[in-house]
Chain A
Amino acid sequence: MHKEFLMGNAAIARGAMAAGLNVVSGYPGTPSTEVLETAAKFNDGGLYVEWSVNEKAALELAAGAAYSGARTMVTMKQVGLNVASDPLMSLAYIGVKGGMVVLVADDPGPISSQTEQDTRTFAAYSKLPCFDPSSVQEAYDMIQKAFELSEEYHTPVLFRPTTRVCHGYASIDVKDESECKKNTPEGFVRDPSKWVIFPRLSFRAHAEIEKRNRALSELLSDSGLNPVEKGSGKKGIAAHGINYTYVKEALAALGCDVPLFKVGTPFPFPEKAAVEFLQGCDEVLCIEELDPVIERGLTYVCGKFGIGTKVLGKLTGNIPESGENTISSVTKAVAEFLGVKAPEKAVREEPPALPVRPPVLCAGCPHRASFYAVKTAMKGKKSVFCGDIGCYTLGNAMPLDMVDTCLCMGAGVNITQGIGKIEPDTACFAFVGDSTFFASAITGVVNAVYNQADMTLVVLDNSTTAMTGHQPHPGTGRTMMGQVVDKISIENVLRGIGVKTVETVDPLDLKAAVDCVKRVSAEKGVKAIIFKSPCAVLIKSGKPKFIDPAKCKDCKRCIKELGCPGIVIRDGRPAIENALCTGCGLCSRVCPFDAIGGDENAD
């Protein structure tokens, strides 16, 4: 053992590697992304790592490897689990040979997601065991136990940290190389009665799964993963994940010591441990984020075993139903529950109005130019702009205001078709990024071509997965194993599907881009524009532009039209923020007085 300072996600990857991981696949998504990246970084060549095209592909690949005796992990954020749910629901019946952990990072808040769904609830639905770590150290230790349990019971298991565990850092105990397990896969052993799903197999497996889960509930109660900490009094607290640490902080701040039940495996619910906890208490408060899983579990256990303990939590209005908890909110709830005084906050004078800093497209971002080109070309025409998931969702912000809908990965291309069926006189656009195109928009284009849609697909191709930190994808020609491979051409894919008009244009060449949008969108049927320009963060910036004060008439059009962080107001006049400007030149094309010039005048 030695000490390392690790991010929660890094600890998960390193823990999995210490458990003899052979294969890891996934699709990027905050807050899960760094798990796979860490595995790739520490790969000595013995591990197969891939960013798959989407979560479904990732899970199926990991399943195949686990059928072959490999220890596998598949990584995703919570909404990625929706994409992977089809294979996972069936895999629960088929099972695995090598240990398989499905790492799903949940995002209370939500901070950077569409939903506040709870993978603990999905665990109950899919009947798969679920692990919920509360700290970086526990994540490292627990994932090794998750692999053992998965392999012993031949079932995939869910491992669901939340954002604060994923992105928290701590100095933790890490195994030395010599202490790590090595797993040598046996290989795939042909057995159609085992690996081919048919109704008869599912019927049999269903009964076995229910029986196994009853046994696991008992086993997990005694596993040390669901400890009941002794305390004084008849009021107890149950918590999970990061909330457990909030409760520990709250109890320390309040100087209280009460029975505390930490639920580390929410499914199968550790009923025996729950009974032990409930029997010592008259009243318990469940402190949870997302769904009231423990609260429902304890209420059920009370009914099943005839225990009269009162169970409080989200369902009784004691804990907020949505959003994140904090140490402060938990301290307040615990103080109220225990009837003690919460530490008082000093009241300061109301501060002056704070500048709002909403997330915006970066200075020099080519998406800004793409949106502006479409906006300019379609001015005065009845149009709808369906957006998608990625940095370019930020095209919704003023002044661009170019995202009318956004639902989930790849949805925009189909949503725009639906709007078009009801409003045939509307010019229907779907914006999709390159990574999202490969992940889940291709089938939408097939649907559009087949079903005779009238729409313009706009692919915003910045040659990376920018939102989650620049992961490679099929169009980049690089893999997580360090290979340089053939790039899959978006244009060829579209032509192969049968899209007859496909034009590629540099959005920063504003005139050409606007002309292209006017020309292409006027055609009937399904047509596509690929705006191709690399992510501004990945290329070396050009020299900053310069606003000539003699030519500038203070119309502020550059600011009002583009909303670029590289242009600020200085002494009441538009000025370039040299530290941010990449010299992309979009503003110089928007300026009606030719006041924004090249680098020769830069100060």
Chain B
Amino acid sequence: MPTNILICGVGGQGIVLTSKLIAATAMAHDIPVKSAETIGMAQKGGSVFSFLRVGEGAFCPMFAEGTADIIIAFEPAEAVRMLPYLKEGGCTSEAHAVIVNTHPIMPVTAALSGSAYTGAEMLEYLEKHVEKLILVDGEKACAEVGSPRALNMIMLGAAVRSGILPFDINAIEETMKATVKPQFIEMNSKALHYDE
């Protein structure tokens, strides 16, 4: 059975690169991989997601609700939106997890309607419904790593440390080094290893 990975967030947060790094790492280890992501009109300020299936036995690039081994959510409300995809029932908390960046992104509609979406109610809901919830303070982490662009590597590092992905941090780091420009390697390494 493949490991089903769902990465979600808001357009512009670096979700596609995260997905590509996991796929490239699988390729480097001769593990079959399939993926699918949002492209087109939905990208403009909208919710974006990427499905990834690593390992033998996947027919389709997407997977069904209730079958994700891990959700890597770059935004609290997006984690809640995609939660129906998480595996459920009968599993121990070690089997599946949700990694979530606690920093909310206000949609333009929230500013217009004057609603004060803060993400807190989403985190509360996740705490209540997810056995293994890993919170990442993305804003603080980016500040400590020293770049607002480090979020994707910080999230990916946390996901790898959960032990659910079929490779370790060194494997991901090797792929990252082969993918990003030389001047960004140090920052991205720091981000991958960031652990508050």
Contacts and interface: CB of A to CB of B under 8 A. Distances in A.
A559 B108 CA distance: 9
Chain A interface mostly: loop
B45 A111 contact: no
Nearest to B54: A171
A170 interface: yes
B60 A171 contact: no
A360 B40 contact: no
Interface in B51-94: 59-66, 77, 80-81, 83-84, 88-89
Contact of B106 (A346, A355, A556): A355
Contact of B59 (A245, A349, A574): A245
A360 B109 CA distance: 9
Contacts of B40: 30-31, 111-112, 468
Contacts, number: 156
Contacts of A252: 59
Interface in B108-125: 108-112, 114-117, 121-122, 125
Size category, A interface: 35 or more
A30 B34 contact: no
Contacts of A556: 114
Interface stretch (A42-50, A305-313, A418-426, A560-568): A560-568
Given A248-B59, A249-B59, A327 B64 contact: yes
Contacts of A355: 77, 106-107, 109-110, 115, 117
A252 B57 CA distance: 10
Interface string B23-49: 110110010111111011111111100
A564 B30 CA distance: 45
Contacts of A579: 148
Contacts of B84: 345, 348
B181 interface: no
A168 B36 contact: yes
Given A171-B33, A348-B83, A359-B41, A564 B89 contact: no
A279 to B, nearest CB: 26
B10 interface: yes
Contacts of B10: 357
B66 A343 contact: yes
B13 to A, nearest CB: 10
B129 interface: yes
A398 B114 CA distance: 14
A577 B104 CA distance: 12
Interface in A21-38: 30-31
Contacts of B43: 359
B45 A167 contact: no
A249 B62 CA distance: 10
Given A168-B34, A560-B112, A569-B116, A248 B106 contact: no
A468 B61 CA distance: 23
A167 B63 CA distance: 15
Interface string A160-193: 0000100111110000000000000000000000
Contacts of B32: 170-171
B128 to A, nearest CB: 7
Interface in A320-345: 326-328, 331, 343, 345
A249 B34 CA distance: 14
Size category, B interface: 35 or more
B125 A346 contact: no
Contact of A169 (B36, B106, B117): B36
A351 B35 contact: no
Given A567-B111, A569-B114, A112 B42 contact: yes
Nearest to A399: B112
Contacts of A5: 23-24, 27, 33
Nearest to A247: B59
Contact of B108 (A30, A327, A391, A563): A563
Nearest to A365: B44
Nearest to A165: B61
A538 interface: no
A359 B33 contact: no
Given A168-B35, A171-B32, A568-B111, A111 B41 contact: yes
A246 B47 CA distance: 23
Interface string A48-74: 000000000000000000000000000
Given A354-B81, A394-B44, A559-B111, A169 B35 contact: yes
Given A352-B80, A354-B77, A170 B61 contact: yes
A565 B141 CA distance: 24
A351 B24 contact: no
A169 B61 contact: yes
Most chain A C-beta atoms within 10 Å of own C-beta, residue among B39, B43, B112 = B39
A356 interface: yes
Nearest to A574: B111
A559 to B, nearest CB: 5
A3 interface: yes
A293 to B, nearest CB: 21
Given A171-B27, A248-B60, A357-B47, A351 B65 contact: no
A245 B60 contact: yes
Most chain B C-beta atoms within 10 Å of own C-beta, residue among A355, A361, A568 = A355
B143 to A, nearest CB: 13
A346 B112 contact: no
Contacts of A111: 40-42
A572 interface: yes
Interface string A570-581: 001010010100
A358 interface: yes
Contact of B112 (A136, A361, A563): A563
B45 A572 contact: no
A352 B107 contact: no
A522 interface: no
B153 to A, nearest CB: 17
B15 to A, nearest CB: 14
Given A355-B106, A362-B45, 12 more contacts: A112-B42, A169-B36, A171-B23, A171-B33, A326-B62, A351-B83, A354-B81, A355-B107, A357-B47, A358-B107, A359-B43, A565-B108
27 contacts: A5-B27, A30-B40, A112-B41, A135-B59, A168-B34, A168-B61, A170-B32, A170-B33, A242-B60, A245-B60, A249-B59, A249-B64, A252-B59, A343-B66, A346-B89, A349-B128, A351-B83, A351-B122, A352-B125, A358-B45, A358-B107, A359-B46, A559-B111, A559-B112, A567-B111, A572-B116, A577-B106
Interface of B: 10, 23-24, 26-27, 30, 32-37, 39-47, 59-66, 77, 80-81, 83-84, 88-89, 106-112, 114-117, 121-122, 125, 128-129, 148
Give 4 closest A-B pairs by Cβ, nearest first. A168-B61, A245-B60, A248-B59, A112-B40
Interface of A: 3, 5, 30-31, 111-112, 135-136, 164, 167-171, 242, 245-246, 248-249, 252-253, 326-328, 331, 343, 345-346, 348-349, 351-352, 354-362, 391, 394, 398-399, 467-468, 556, 559-560, 563-565, 567-569, 572, 574, 577, 579
